Amino acid sequence: MAYNDDKINMVHGAGGEVMQDMISDIILGNISKTSVNGGIGLEALDDSATIPIDDEHVVVTTIDSHTVDPIFFPGGDIGRISAAGTLNDVSVMGVKPVSLNNAMVISEGFEQSDLEKIIKSMNATCEEVGAAIITGDTKVIDSDKLDNIIITTAGIGIGRKDEVVTDSGLEVGDKVIITGSVGDHGMAIMSKREGFGYDTELKSDVAPVWSMVEAAKKVGTITAMKDPTRGGIANALNEMANKASVGMRLDEEKIPIKPEVNAVSEMLGIDPFEVANEGKIVMGVKADTAEDVLQAIQKTKYGKDAQIIGEVTEGKHVIMETVIGGERLVEPPIADPVPRVC
């Protein structure tokens, strides 16, 4: 197994089990203080951390480096993904994101006009949720040391403690909702790289999810949420089930997948459940509010294709009833099959 090697390889960064091992051993094992004021900290490995401020308020915060390749892709660019990715990690904690910090490391020779496009895209994405960009840092590196650009964004949300939703709160009987079609981002990146490019209709789903969270909260009870980025829904669903010591039963027929995603998926032999989404949420919802939540989400800009895809069960496996009437185990991937996806 790659982990026994003494050098870091691509699998260590691919959002799967090997990466979890490295994070536990080298990172968590060497950090002495991982939370503030009893909030959700690093070892929770949730989408964001929380810092309780007083009896009522909480700050939600997260960070993500974005190294997506290519930086301009069908449906988005590194600016949009840098904003949406981080705003989404805050959003799926149930709290409204208010701001981004934006740190860019740019290769010498990078086109100023491309940088401007990226900033505009980032800004447009922030405007959708009303978030501000409040701090920044810019570094330039020799072009033989860095290819292109890396954008790291940290996000902050501010809300009430009782709004916070973790990724570990699933309970038996909850319905599982996915807010739209699966695998769009990973497959769009892969297909662009493979040169299918703009010939297909395949586009990344990269988008801010806050409007869907807001709509869902108003009408229902969300027990757990996660945005299924690296490692796809296979990773997210297993992580949620595992953290809550429950299982899931999914109905394959209900899981929305675009025909063009299926096509590329078959051509490349890549499971669309294992690749990143950048504008979706997987959520557990109390069964009696699930229909209301579904309808509320479907009325939002990015939630038209939302579906109830299954429910939470006893046990510890994520099991899918297949279209042809069988059953298959949905397992967490060792790694996202598409590198540099976000």
Window 58 to 87, contacts with a second copy (CB under 8 A):
59, 61-65, 67, 69
State the amino acid at position 306 in one-letter form: A
176 near 312, Cβ under 8 Å? Answer: yes
Among 146, 263, 287, 319, binds a second copy (CB under 8 A): 146
Write out the binding residues for a second copy, residues 179-238 only, by CB under 8 A. Answer: none
Among 24, 132, 198, 328, binds a second copy (CB under 8 A): 132
Write out the binding residues for a second copy, residues 18-47 only, by CB under 8 A. Answer: 19, 22-23, 26-27, 30-37, 39, 41-42
Among 193, 254, 286, 340, binds a second copy (CB under 8 A): 340
In the complex with a second copy, the residue whose CB is nearer, 54 or 314, is 54
| Binding status of residue 163 toward a second copy by CB under 8 A | no
| Binding status of residue 98 toward a second copy by CB under 8 A | yes
| Binding status of residue 105 toward a second copy by CB under 8 A | yes
Among 21, 70, 72, 141, binds a second copy (CB under 8 A): 141
| Binding status of residue 147 toward a second copy by CB under 8 A | yes
Whether the link from the prior residue into 70 is cis, omega within 30° of 0, is yes
Three-point CA angle 150, 83, 140, nearest 5°? 25
In the complex with a second copy, the residue whose CB is nearer, 133 or 287, is 133
235 near 228, Cβ under 8 Å? Answer: yes
Q: Nearest to residue 16, comparing CAs of 235, 228, 240, 271?
A: 235
Distance CA 273, CA 248 (A): 15
SS3 category, 3: helix
Provide the 10 A C-beta neighbour count for residue 280.
31
